[in-house]
Amino acid sequence: MQMLRGRASPRYGVAIPVSSVLLKFAALLSLGALTACGPQGLESPINSPYIAGAENQNVLYTAFTQRSPKFLDPAKSYSTDETPYTYNIYEPLYGYHYLKRPYALTPRTAVAVSEPNFVDQAGNVLPSDASAKDIAESIYDIKLRSGIVYQPHPVFARQPDGRFSYWPLEPQSFKDKFVMGDFQQTGTRELTAFDYVYALRRLASPRVASPIFSTLAEHVVGMQAYGKRLREIDAALRKDLPPGTRDLPWLDLREAGFSGVEALDEHTLRIRVKGLYPQFKYWLAMTFIAPIPWEADRFYSQPGMAQRNLSLNYWPVGTGPYMLAESLQNRRHVLVRNPNFRGEPYPCEGEPQDRAAGLLADCGKRTPFIDKIVFNIEKESIPLQGKFMQGYYDIPQVDRGDAGVAMLVAAGDSAAKATLYAKHGIQLPTTVEAQMQYFGFNWKDPVVGMGETPEQQVRNRKLRQALSIAFNWEEYVAIFQNDQAQVAQGPIPPGILGYQAGVEGINRVVYDVKDGKPVRKSIEQARALLAEAGYPNGRDARTGEPLVLHFDSASGVGGSSPTLDWMRRQFALLGVQFDVRATDYNRFQEKMARGVAQMYMWGWVADYPDAENFLFLLYGPNIKAGKGGENASNYMNPAYDALFEKMRDLPDGVEKEQVIAQMIQILQEDAPWMFGLFPKSGGAFQQWVGNAKPTQMVRNTLQYMKIDPVLRSKKIAEWNSPVWWPVVLFGLLLCGIVWPAWRALRRQDRQTAFGDVAQEGVR
């Protein structure tokens, strides 16, 4: 980031009374302050937080809240706030089409989205419609495009004689180097399939501890054993080193590999997946499968690098449209256009409404359109919102849609705000995303869980069904989500194969169908179910004791909030007492891991747009308690599990839809969750931001966006003319107070027992 320059601004000079040394000093200080704002005085408004004329450049300004991204290493990064960086710097094999919905995979560095070849145990090739039980392996042979090169980076820099410029380095030789810009020389090379092989091997490395290793190791041939082997190699390398040491000898993953991942040639990658696993292709669209050049891994393994935070975690090396040029932790990060990027064409197809919205106008043009993206920290919402309304942010946050939804809500609540947003031409598109919030029951719990005996199982199911009816999600969405969410009828969100819109999708356990629309069953029906469950009017029929259910809240200590109070009232409709066990998120996670919570509320953001990624949240072998899976309800139903295993192996199509429908029906009947809601995601974009489409699945959106700096500059000047008269008025008021005080002081100085000395003299 360039520094702001000081320049005089006669336009903003103010007259300051010069009647004392103190006032002179104040005047000088004020003048200094104003002239320091000079550059904006001439080329930008005085309140601009950027360099003079910044708004005229092809630069997109946005913000991040709370803190800098924790992990930019693609093997570790798994948080939404990291994706604007990782998905624009790194290129996985595939990505998602920017405009098409439902989401469609498109190749990024691959030539095409490859279909796997199937082989049996003997290695014989099977037809593409072979039965899942016959398939021993799915082999993905993925062709890479040639001519893709990495961003200019010191890890590739070489001397004229071919030696690497920055390897090997002695620790003292880079004592003064703390950022990548401190290394003057850069280089590049072509992307090869070996870089993907290296990246996949690295996922198994104990040095990295990738969150995705255990999942991928279940599917990729030989990966589990490879992880163990790497542990042994790593242990041997660390043998004589003190524990916790940060400078470790390089674990060269070129040497040791495994059969599941190999490069057939420079541009062909082969991945062998156990059995049939159609969802595997989606993992190839995530940055876990982004190429890692071995030079980068070796460069960052040099002694002293870790101490200076020189690692892939902070300084990524990629082939994507942007590269990280500046990284000031918890302050500012800057992405600039990768000069080596080949320039991908802007898509020419999309949803029907995209053409009318102007989203197809740039069809075929080379991306990216924007030269630089500046992310500034804004920890508080007031400055963030304020700067956005002044035009100093083009998008409040790239990675989240909350700001857009919040502005929509604000516009709905206040006509003045709606007018202001309209006047500023702010675009507020929304969409329902592949994510959900649900209310879960712990299957291990004797009261709301599965139940031990068949009779108990029936009773518990009826209790869960009664609660599902009483808990009015429509009201919840209206009150707490400001209508910016869709009430869920099952676990599959819209836009994903298996989601059923209309009458077919209605949860008949909770809703009646009237005029083709769902109508929540009456509270009397819920009470009847509760009585059948053995709790008439909320009391145990056998003991007469009131039914008390415990909700484990992660909302912090206290247990009282509007949401929790509302929940209490929902349960009270049935006479059931709702006890809140409030705790912090860490304790909550611990309880969930031990399986001791009774009821809870949680959410899930899809890894990929496939029903499997939601239905696995209730798959028996994936329980959280004791196994660490994502089935937080610890739900187990053999019929459901069998259908899941069948569905998982099916290609997209009618058969898969039918199986999913059966699974949803089981879930609606068993009610291990109250299905909750699918939150809407929104975007807030200034009028000069083009090609903006809200999405939480496509993460390399910056590549497709564009801005109109001329319009931005004009609007910023229009919206930010300073108001000086209150300052002048304040100065006059101050003089009005100081001057009489000064006079009184002087008068008292001159006064004697015989009156005013000065006046006496005059007489």
Cβ distance to other proteins smaller for residue 33 or 733: 33
Q: What's the CA gap between 101 and 493, in Å, rounded?
A: 13
User: Could you tell me how many helices (H) and strands (E) the chain has, helices first?
Assistant: 23, 26
The answer to whether 611 and 660 are in contact (CB under 8 A) is yes
The answer to whether 74 and 316 are in contact (CB under 8 A) is yes
Nearest approach, Cβ of residue 78 and other proteins (Å): 3
DSSP classification of residue 242: P
Nearest approach, Cβ of residue 205 and other proteins (Å): 10
The answer to whether 602 and 580 are in contact (CB under 8 A) is no
Nearest approach, Cβ of residue 583 and other proteins (Å): 11
Nearest approach, Cβ of residue 308 and other proteins (Å): 7
Nearest approach, Cβ of residue 434 and other proteins (Å): 13
Nearest approach, Cβ of residue 469 and other proteins (Å): 31
Cβ distance to other proteins smaller for residue 58 or 721: 721
Cβ distance to other proteins smaller for residue 668 or 713: 713
Which among 212, 426, 186, 429 is positioned nearest to 317, based on CA atoms?
Answer: 186
Percentage helix, strand, coil, to 5, in the chain? 35, 15, 45
Cβ distance to other proteins smaller for residue 215 or 457: 215
Spatial CB neighbours of 75, under 8 Å, sequence gap ≥ 6: 199, 202, 203, 205, 208, 210, 212, 288, 292
Nearest approach, Cβ of residue 382 and other proteins (Å): 6
The two structure tokens encoding residue 77? 């990064």
Nearest approach, Cβ of residue 212 and other proteins (Å): 7
Nearest approach, Cβ of residue 213 and other proteins (Å): 7
Which among 631, 611, 612 is positioned nearest to 622, based on CA atoms?
Answer: 631
Q: Would you call 616 helix, strand, or coil by DSSP?
A: helix
Q: What's the CA gap between 110 and 117, in Å, rounded?
A: 17
Cβ distance to other proteins smaller for residue 482 or 589: 589
Which among 387, 259, 370, 383 is positioned nearest to 321, based on CA atoms?
Answer: 370
Cβ distance to other proteins smaller for residue 174 or 194: 174
Nearest approach, Cβ of residue 241 and other proteins (Å): 12
Cβ distance to other proteins smaller for residue 209 or 519: 209
The answer to whether 106 and 700 are in contact (CB under 8 A) is no
- Could you identify the residue written with the tokens 């009270």? 572
Q: How far is CA 354 from CA 28, 178, 364, 405, in A?
A: 56, 45, 15, 20
The answer to whether 59 and 371 are in contact (CB under 8 A) is yes
Cβ distance to other proteins smaller for residue 109 or 205: 205
Cβ distance to other proteins smaller for residue 390 or 662: 390
Cβ distance to other proteins smaller for residue 377 or 677: 377
- List the beta strands (DSSP E) in 421-556: 430-432, 435-441, 485-487, 511-514, 517-520, 548-553
Nearest approach, Cβ of residue 561 and other proteins (Å): 20
Q: How far is CA 313 from CA 66, 225, 227, 423, in A?
A: 18, 26, 21, 42
Cβ distance to other proteins smaller for residue 564 or 593: 593
